[in-house]
Structure formats: C-alpha cells, structure tokens
Amino acid sequence: MFNPFPTNIKTIAVIAPSGPASPEQIHAGCGFIEKFGIKVKLAHGVLNQGQCRYLSTDASSRLDDLHWAYTDSDVDLILCARGGFGAAHLLPEIDWDIIRSRSVPLVGYSDISVLHLAMIKNNAGIPVVGPMCIRLPQLHDDAYTLEYFKRALSDSPVRPALLPDGGRQLTALLPGCVKAPVIASNLAVMVSLCGTGFMLELKGKVLLLEDINEPVYKLDRYLTQLKQNGILDGIAGLLLGDFIECGNEGELNEMFNRILGKLDCPVYSGFPFGHGFPLLSVRQNSIIEIDETGTFKL
C-alpha cells in the first residue's frame, strides 16, 4: 500500500482536542500508521473520556495534551483523533510560544479548523488539513487522498496539476484566474470565530469552505454573517468543497449564487475537500492556482 507519510516522519502523536473516539477506532487508526514502521504516541486524554459525552476529556487535559505533543522532541507530526466540538475551549489558554518552538504539522479538519485558524493568526506551527486518525483505515485503496496527504506533509510540496484519476473540474459561479495562498476551513466553525481575537484577516487569500449536516438556511446564515462581518471583502477567491447532507443540490446552488454571486473575485464549486473522500489535503497558506477553465494546481 502507498505510504502517505514522508520519510522524515518517524513518530506521530495522536491527540483529541475535540470530541471522543472509541478505543477501537483509535487502535485501528494507529494500526494503519504502524504498518509503515512509524511509532505512535497516544496523548493521555485520547482514551480517557471525561464526564461530557461530546468532549474527549476536560479542557485542561486537552490543552496539556496539545502542549505535550509539541514539547516531545521525538514527535514529527501531530494527528488529531477526530473533530466534533471542543477545540475552541483551548484557544484562550494555548501557549503560542510552545507551538512556535517546533515546526511540526498539526493535521485535522472540521472542528480542528479553529486550531488551524488560530495557528495562522499567531504565526505558530504548520496547520495541515488532512484525514484524521479514525478515518485512516478507510484510505487503503484511495490513492488520490493518500497522494495529496503526502504532498501536504512534505517540507517543499510541489504543485503539479490535479491527479487525473481523482480529479474534478471546478464549476464556475464567477469565473476568473487566481494565484494566491489558500485558507481552508469548515464554514460553521469559521463563523464561530467571528468577533473573537482568533479570526483571520483574509484579504488576498483564497478561502476554501466545506460543511456537513447543515440545512441550507443555516449555510445561508453563515455566509451572510461572513459577508456582513466584512470577512469576504478583498479575498482573492472563494472555493466551495463538499457540503454533505446539506439539502438538495438545487437549493444549495441557488443559495450559493445568491449570496456569493456578487463577490469581486473568482468563485468555484466542486473542490474535493470536506468530510468525504476523496479528500485533497491542504497545507494552510500554500499557493493555489486556478485558470480560466477551472483547472487548479496546489
């Protein structure tokens, strides 16, 4: 099987800054990693669920696990167990000097978006959007996801054309060419940071958004809030990824066109990014290029 981990990654720390995962799920994910001769270290809170059923453990323990992963000199990559909710609890207490102390990728998506956005805001660490621990066993035959995961983890990721076997042609809501840094996030999670000190300035960036299990009216609400907060002012482009179980395609397309159709930048849908597979992993702030045909390079 294709090894998605670069040769410099010898030890991976698994942390659970958001929701809980079952021991069976964690061990299956660790087994996937260990097949490539990589050592796995589990943070204390990963298998020690606290009193709240939707949190992996208490906020103090989750914070300690995050700091531990960065201070352990053996750790080459930090992999989040899953998303859910809870990472926002950590933001006010994170010691950003610890995160800046080592250039270690932190991998996740969904609720992990809050950590990624705060990392970018504080110029700390290497935030990478990619598959989390409990999803890894599903990737045995997914060459597209594994290939782009490896590229996102590489120190000097190349940007060839999208792999033809898993590629999708983007659909233009507002056509145009763009070459700029990309910031990827779950939409609902990004909106939750509006009005906080952790929200990013996105001028000059390409914003890549996805979501899951949200009715169309809520997605409308979220995009309207981003627009009215000025978050979309001056962005270089906007990409829509997967919106899984978020209403029918007709309603989604009408809403996207109505809310986003007057932006002063290219807007494309159909990017392979979200809660499903194939998933194109993204090193945050890497350069994305899109031409007038909707073909992109990353």
For the cut 80, the answer to whether the pLDDT of residue 155 exceeds it is no
Contact 42, 190 (CB under 8 A): no
Residue 167 — very low, low, confident or very high, per pLDDT cuts 50/70/90? low
- Burial (Cβ within 10 Å: 0-12, 13-18, ≥19) of residue 292: exposed
Question: Each residue of 178-203: pLDDT tens digit?
Answer: 999 999 999 999 999 999 999 999 99
> What strands, in cross-sheet order, belong to the sheet with 287-290?
171-174, 267-269, 237-244, 206-212, 178-186, 287-290, 296-297
Average pLDDT over residues 152-177: 71
Quick one: how far is CA 25 from the chain centroid? 20
- Of the candidates 13, 249, 4, the one whose C-alpha atom is nearest the C-alpha of residue 138 is 4
What percent of the chain stands above pLDDT 90? 86
Could you tell me which CATH number the domain at 11-153 has? 3.40.50.10740
Question: Each residue of 222-267: pLDDT tens digit?
Answer: 999 999 999 999 999 999 999 999 999 999 999 999 999 999 999 9
What percent of the chain stands above pLDDT 70? 95
For the cut 60, the answer to whether the pLDDT of residue 94 exceeds it is yes
The alpha-carbon radius of gyration of the chain (Å, integer) is 18
Q: To which residue do tokens 């809980």 refer?
A: 20
Domain boundaries, the chain: 11-153, 171-297
* Assigned fold of 171-297: Glucose Oxidase; domain 1 (3.50.30)
Beta bridge partners of 185: 209
Q: To which residue do tokens 């990654």 refer?
A: 9
For the cut 60, the answer to whether the pLDDT of residue 165 exceeds it is no
Residue 164 — very low, low, confident or very high, per pLDDT cuts 50/70/90? very low
Contact 19, 54 (CB under 8 A): yes
For the cut 80, the answer to whether the pLDDT of residue 63 exceeds it is yes
Q: Alpha-carbon distance 231 to 248, whole Å?
A: 27
More confident position, 91 or 280: 91
Q: What does each C-alpha distance from 240 to 123, 150, 184, 237 come to in angstroms?
A: 25, 23, 10, 10
Residue 168 — very low, low, confident or very high, per pLDDT cuts 50/70/90? low
